[in-house]
Structure 1
Amino acid sequence: MAFSAALGKSCHSTLLRRSSLQKTFKQASAKHLSRPVVPRLDRRIHSKQATATAPPASLAIPPWTDSEDQKQALRQLQDKMNKCAYGQPDEDTLKWFLRDRKLDADEAADKLTNMLKWRQDFQADSITWGMVAKEADTGKAYLHEHKDVNGQPVIVIRSSLHKTGEFSLDDSKRLCILILEKALKQLPEGQDTVLGVFDLKGFKQKNGDLGFAGFLRDIFFTYYPKRLGQVLFIDAPWIFQPSWNLFKPLLGKYAGLVAFVSREQLRDNYFTPETVPADFKQD
């Protein structure tokens, strides 16, 4: 299948209603704007020792070692997916979803079926760069040419360039899928995840798109599970706090993947001077 190379190296989803969430975000932002005291943001990273490390142990995905338990689970999952009406994943994809579900073949089959149905409904295999060229040309999101110090492909999102409603939500989803699958195809041997870097410098209320944020939650936790190794929020202004407060509970334990860092911390702990993205070379 066309998607297998990306997914293989790549539960019911919670769908967010864009309009109502945007209204909630505006109300929350207005509330914070009226406060004379700047609220403190979560700051999880303070030193090199705390950064550029593996995800929390509870979120780490176990390796595939070809153990007897793994082989048995794989056979069970293959039998279940042979009856799937939405397509047949390749073996690497089957193994990844088993690793995600801790070798529970029933849970892996359910999650795979949901993913395959979504790909069919959204026509994910038919997306082309020409369909999203105008939005891509804004430079709001791109795959960095260099990997981080851990060998992870790096996706950079310039939040101040994303204006809610400027492009359709579906087109923004298509651009996200293309960039992510391009990143997954560049995974080096022994690396399973990508790094997401959100540049929040200059973030304003108009940039807070919780409808798209909800899609990001689904794509990384349901359609491409555990492919996101860590999320870095760079130079988040205090006005970002309302949207984070709304979205954080939806992440549950996966909020542990998020770290608030400065440009200096990003340079010092995630890249070499030669590989740091140009947007972050200076404060």
Structure 2
Amino acid sequence: MAAAAVIVLVIVVALVVFVASLSVRLVQQYQRGVVFRFGRVLERIRQPGLQLIVPVADRMVRVSMQTTVIGVPAQGVITRDNVTLTVDAVVYYRVVDPVKVLVNVRDYPSAVLQVAQTALRSVIGKADLDTLLRDRDRINAELKAVIDAPTEKPWGLLIERVEVKDVSLPEGMKRSMSRQAEAERERRARVIAADGEFQASRRLADASRAMANTPGAYQLRLLQTVVDVAAEKNSTLVMPFPVELLRFFDRLAGGAGEQARPAGQTDRGPAEQAGRGPAEQATPVGPGLGPVTENVAAAAAEGDGRRPER
């Protein structure tokens, strides 16, 4: 009897351990448990830890709540301005409702991938090439909104982020864009150079007016230029002739001419010159002058208002 009792006890313990193994389920921290009892979903979502279920009647499915990353394969797309591109993207999503993920959609990772591919072609086809290359954030936001619409409420998924990874352009388009960028850089360089020349000309004009008002500044600038030229390794040095020296000689010659004029001789006006007779106008000028030379001398004297010296 004792042996039979021990055998029965062992069998009971084994059955208890077997039933306990069928009833206890472990849910990880990043998971949530959905229990199906005879095929129907229970409303209570099992949280992380050890969870008990009814053996045979219940079946628990664990759903990961972590963010999942899927890559969208490269898609051949035609933009709004008829440019053929190859675009790929990456989608970040996570589960927010485990029940909907299990009940409303089958193989939700594959479903999200298909929706992402169709949304990528739709959004890129509505945009032009410049917008795709320049305003990438707006394209990503539109992709997120298009993918999130059919997946959040019906499937219990949240699209956290969508990024366009690479945009492959045709070789002809790359060469055209390179030439366009080079022409734009050349245009900017010319505009900057023209602006610099305009500002330099204004500064030079201001400097010339300042030197015109101050003759000493012109002399200092002239000496500075001579020093700069002499600093170079030149065998020949060209010295500019001062303009003030020419003006000095001009004034000196004018003063000497005024002193050499006789005291009693004054300039005659046009009326006095008109009152002279032909005989006076034909008076010989200087010794040995012919008639033609005398007429030329008389005309020259009438032109500068002076009487030719006898």
Same fold (TM over 0.5): no
Question: Taking CA–CA contacts closer than 8 Å with sequence separation of 6 or more, which of the two structures ends up with the larger relative contact order?
Answer: 1
Q: Whose radius of gyration is greater, 1 or 2?
A: 2
**TMscore range, shorter length:** under 0.3
TM-score by length of 1: 0.20
TM-score by length of 2: 0.18
Which has the larger strand fraction? Answer: 2
